Structure 1
Amino acid sequence: MDKPRITIAIDGFSSCGKSTMAKALARRIGYIYIDSGAMYRAVTLYCLDHNLIDGDTVDTEALRSHMDDIHIDFRPDPATGKTHTFLNNRDVEQEIRSMRVSDKVSPVSAIPFVRTAMVAAQQKMGERKGIVMDGRDIGTTVFPRAELKIFVTASAETRAQRRVDELKDKGVAVDFDEVVANINKRDHIDQTRKESPLRRADDAILLDNSHMTIDEQDAWLLARYNEAIARQQ
């Protein structure tokens, strides 16, 4: 008998490795991976490219008038097979991971009409089961009825080191203290925003991966998936 297909929501703090584990699980079980955080990063990049941000202040009225011109989708890279983010038909996968975007994404993602637009797009993408989506409010707002919800956390220092290592591998040099400050700033904004604040859903399973290897967390997540599938059968 074929396994039932479910929706898997992975939420948590920035730089916890949510996307890495979500992608790995999706590949392993044959599900579609949707990077919700990349969508907010793409909107942030659009704002930066169109001079809609001054410091941490977003020109919300101007952005509102631009929302119909912002089109985000995901396509596999022909060379690697990995999913890339496209903004208005342009591959922006590398640009949206830069510190330039990371430093501004929280104020942009806190804007109610931006979240409303992104949530509607995400729900449209996930109308069919068999998806893994990670972000900040997937289990609480986007898919509150997801059959499996995971909430990921790790210390700010652990997350900062991972971020530094990730950027170093891409040839981007960053200051560790700057990254820690950025993470703490984003945590505060994400948890205190009025629209869909970051919080653990009541039925989400907590994963603190501060001291776990990638293989260990992948095995842990696969076990939770198998348990969720067993509950559906």
Structure 2
Amino acid sequence: MAHPAVVPVLTIDGPSGSGKGTISRLVAEKLGWRLLDSGALYRAIGYAAGAEGIDLSDVDAVTRCAQTIRIRFVASHDGGETHVIVNGHDATDELRTETAGAAASAIAVIPSVRQALVDLQLSFRKAPGLVADGRDMGTVIFPDAAHKVFLTASASERAKRRYKQLKDKGLSVTLAGLLREIEARDERDASRAVAPLKPAEGAVLVDTTGMPIDEVVAKVFAVVRP
């Protein structure tokens, strides 16, 4: 079995709505590598904490939740999004709401929660390789990764994408509300003291605004296989 340190990693970081989830899944499939959706881990903790009635400002209780949570990623049979099983419940749809995103952003600033998830995230590094999607994959979790990408897009474009995604799920949202939430989250994520959102050193920047998905996949894939 390959030592984790020699297993190749492609980190794909970027703000909410930049396309990280879709692009990471498609690139992982194209490479035949494992996938880590780190954002889902934080959303899962927020979801689990809510299900247990935990106040997100209660650092000790949220940390205990992070230390005991059971999370599984299950590939979809139809090639769609990966299902996330949290403490035995398929929470995939709940984790994609802006409420879950806001909860994830709020608890991501808690150092003890981040530490609890470090070992879990590192455990995904297994042969033949790993595509790690998140906000600090290239800067904090896998700083030694050989391949790093930072995806971005305009806030208005990201709001439109999220709006379509949530409306397709039958959720009641407004474009203006999503834009406000995304801009507020960008500010919060970029200015936080712990692992602020920023491109990793040496990361290839890809602006996905107005770019078709297949073109983005080709650009990211070329980072690993030129």
Look up the match of 1:173.
Answer: 172
Identity, in percent, stands at 36
Instruction: Write out per-residue CA displacement over residues 48-84 of structure 1, whole angstroms, 9 at most, x where no aligned residue.
Output: 222223xxx5211222333333122212245657521
Look up the match of 1:14.
Answer: 16
Amino acid at match of 1:27: E
User: CA separation in 1, counterparts of 2:74 and 2:54?
Assistant: 27
Amino acid at match of 1:117: A
Distance 1:16 1:177, change over 3 A: same
SS in 1 for 2:225: helix
State the Cα distance separating 1:129 from its structure 2 match: 4.8
Mapping of residues 96-135 of structure 1, within 5 Å: 96-135=95-134
Look up the match of 1:220.
Answer: 219
How many residue pairs match? The answer is 221
Q: Does structure 1 residue 52 correspond to structure 2 residue 54? A: yes
Look up the match of 1:24.
Answer: 26
User: CA separation in 2, counterparts of 1:65 and 1:40?
Assistant: 13
Amino acid at match of 2:14: G
SS in 2 for 1:103: helix
CA contact (8 A) 1:7 1:129 kept: no
Instruction: Write out per-residue CA displacement over residues 112-146 of structure 1, whole angstroms, 9 at most, x where no aligned residue.
Output: 11111112211112154511010000000110011
Amino acid at match of 1:107: A
Distance 1:78 1:219, change over 3 A: closer
Amino acid at match of 1:61: D
Q: Which moved more, 1:44-53 or 1:131-140?
A: 44-53
CA contact (8 A) 1:154 1:208 kept: yes
Distance 1:80 1:192, change over 3 A: same
CA contact (8 A) 2:34 2:124 kept: no
State the Cα distance separating 1:163 from its structure 2 match: 0.2
Amino acid at match of 1:67: A
The unaligned stretches of length 5 or more in structure 1 are 228-233
CA contact (8 A) 2:34 2:128 kept: no
- How large is the RMSD of aligned CA atoms in angstroms? 1.8
User: CA separation in 1, counterparts of 2:210 and 2:115?
Assistant: 35
Look up the match of 2:142.
Answer: 143
Look up the match of 1:93.
Answer: 92
User: CA separation in 1, counterparts of 2:153 and 2:175?
Assistant: 16
CA contact (8 A) 2:49 2:65 kept: no
